[in-house]
Structure 1
Amino acid sequence: MGLGRFGCHLATSLTQLDHDVLAIDRGAGQVQRWSQYLDRVVQADATEEGALRQLGVTGFRRVVVAIGASVEASVLTVLALTELGVPQIWARATSDKHAKILASVGAHHVIFPEAETGERVAHLIVSKMLDFIEFGDDFAIAKVRVPDTLVGRPLRELAPADRYGVMVVGAKLPGERFRYADPATVLTAGSVLVVEGSIAQVQRFASLT
């Protein structure tokens, strides 16, 4: 619901993952623009319960309300979906107050895409991590380059959990695909590692490069 910057990228990504996607937007321009990229794009008012019922929305297990420009339209759409009994309603929020209202009218999952992206990019800018995902409770998984001081030695000898507080989950050796790491894994120059630990520990490990 809503083909703004977030909604259109989400819809195309789901389509590329081979999922059946119905996209709805009240703007004719957006519908015309994205009809060439998505199989099912409909111009309709998502706040109208009857319109959603006619479009077969009740046949979908998950619905994402990606409307961000209008808090009122966002809330009314979630309310309509709740009345229709949609099993999972994901809704985009633009503020804490907006999030509380969405949850109170029936949203099962409330997301802050701009805030989450901004926080993630901030960590990448100020560190040497290649990618970063925070899971809350001060736990993160990151992709980092293998530090030069660890090259040519097996993880069993390096003991990164004891020395640096991080667990090496996977390793991508040059020219190979990512694979799970084990104590016998020998790190080579140019390798990329997937590590987990607290945010501070992961950042410190990345800074060794």
Structure 2
Amino acid sequence: MSARHTDENGVVVIGLGRFGYHLAGSLVQLGHEVLALDRNAERVQRWSGALDRVVQADSTEEAALRQLGVADFPRVVVAIGASVEASVLTVLALTELGVPQIWARATSEKHAKILSSVGAHHVIFPEAETGERVAHLIVSKMLDFIEFGDEFAIAKVRVPASMVGRPLRELAPTERYGVMVVGAKLPGERFRYAGPETVLRPDSVLIVEGSIGQVQRFAAIS
């Protein structure tokens, strides 16, 4: 049975260096199925007891990825950092497989441009991102995310279609969803503090605060 049939939220993480391992571990803690790949046998052995599935494979080979069922996963993260060539060839192989969401680690702006040109949908810079933060972004509809202590988070999300054209007073997001909408960016305007009379327009972007679970659930509203 393919991974897509077992878990629509499954994620493949390719490259088990420090960033890749922490990312994979955070995804597991969030309750997602993770298939982790690395061509280094020592790394595979080291992390095999801590992650769901760890496989030794050459990710630049499309046939190897296909055999492992990578094409059945909705999201793949290329966390390779040691070899620019390997990361680019891996993204290219994933593009050929038709993976819906390809996230790729970049080590420079030039590297990022190459990754985007060969098919990466999202490019991340681990030097500025933590594995846990990227994990939240990958598996949610949040545009940005900052976690503080005590399970408190602030997130940037698109306005749910069901809330368009209605004032926050009527929507009551705190009572209904446990989050507070603290800012709103209407199309063509800058971010402003949101008040009870703020009316949400199509394509608006909101800044919301609450627990991690609350902001994730709010971001998932359609």
TM-score (norm 2): 0.55
Q: Deviations over 1:167-196 (max 9, x none)?
A: xx98xxxxxxxx556xxxxxxxxxxxx966
Where has structure 1 moved over 4 Å in runs of 4 or more? 129-135, 194-199
The change in CA–CA distance for 1:113 and 1:195 in structure 2 (over 3 A counts) is farther
Q: Which is higher, the Rg of structure 1 or of structure 2?
A: 1
Q: Deviations over 1:147-184 (max 9, x none)?
A: xxxxxxxxxxxxxxxxxxxxxx98xxxxxxxx556xxx
Whether 1:40 and 2:53 are equivalent positions in the alignment is yes
Q: Percent identity?
A: 74
- Cα 1:111–1:133 change in 2 (3 A) is farther
Report the residue type matching 1:68 in the other structure: G
CA 1:100–1:134: 2 relative to 1, 3 Å: farther
1:82-97 correspondence runs (5 A): 82-97=95-110
Q: Give the SS at the match of 1:8.
A: helix
Q: Deviations over 1:80-109 (max 9, x none)?
A: 000111111000101000000000000001
Partner residue in 2 for 1:61: 74
> Structure 1, unaligned stretches of length 5 or more?
118-128, 136-168, 171-178, 182-193, 202-209
Distance 1:134 1:60 in 2: 26
**Number of the residue aligned with 2:218:** none
Q: Tell me which amino acid in the other structure corresponds to 2:101.
A: Q
* Residues 196 and 81 (structure 1), Cα distance of their counterparts in 2 relative to 1, 3 Å cut: same
Match 2:89 to one of 49, 72, 76 = 76
- Offset at residue 15 of structure 1 (A): 1.1
| Structure 2 residue 102 is the aligned partner of structure 1 residue 102 | no
Q: What is the correspondence of 1:177-196 to structure 2 with a 5 Å cutoff?
A: 180=179
- Separation of aligned partners in 2, 1:39 and 1:7: 14
Q: How far, CA to CA, are the matches of 1:24 and 1:5 in structure 2?
A: 14
Change (3 A) 1:14 1:116: closer
Residue 27 (structure 1) aligns with: 40
Instruction: Give the Å deviation of 1:17.
Output: 1.4
Report matched runs for 1:116-155 at 5 Å.
116=129
Shift of 1:114: 0.8
Deviation at 1:19, TM superposition (A): 1.0
Residue 132 of structure 1 and its aligned partner are, at CA, apart by: 8.5
SS at match of 1:114: coil
Number of aligned positions between the proteins: 138
Aligned to 2:15: 2
RMSD: 2.9
Higher relative contact order (CA 8 A, sep 6+): 2
TM-score between the two structures when normalised by the length of structure 1: 0.58
Q: Shift in Å at residue 115 of structure 1? A: 2.6
Tell me what 1:155 maps to.
Answer: none
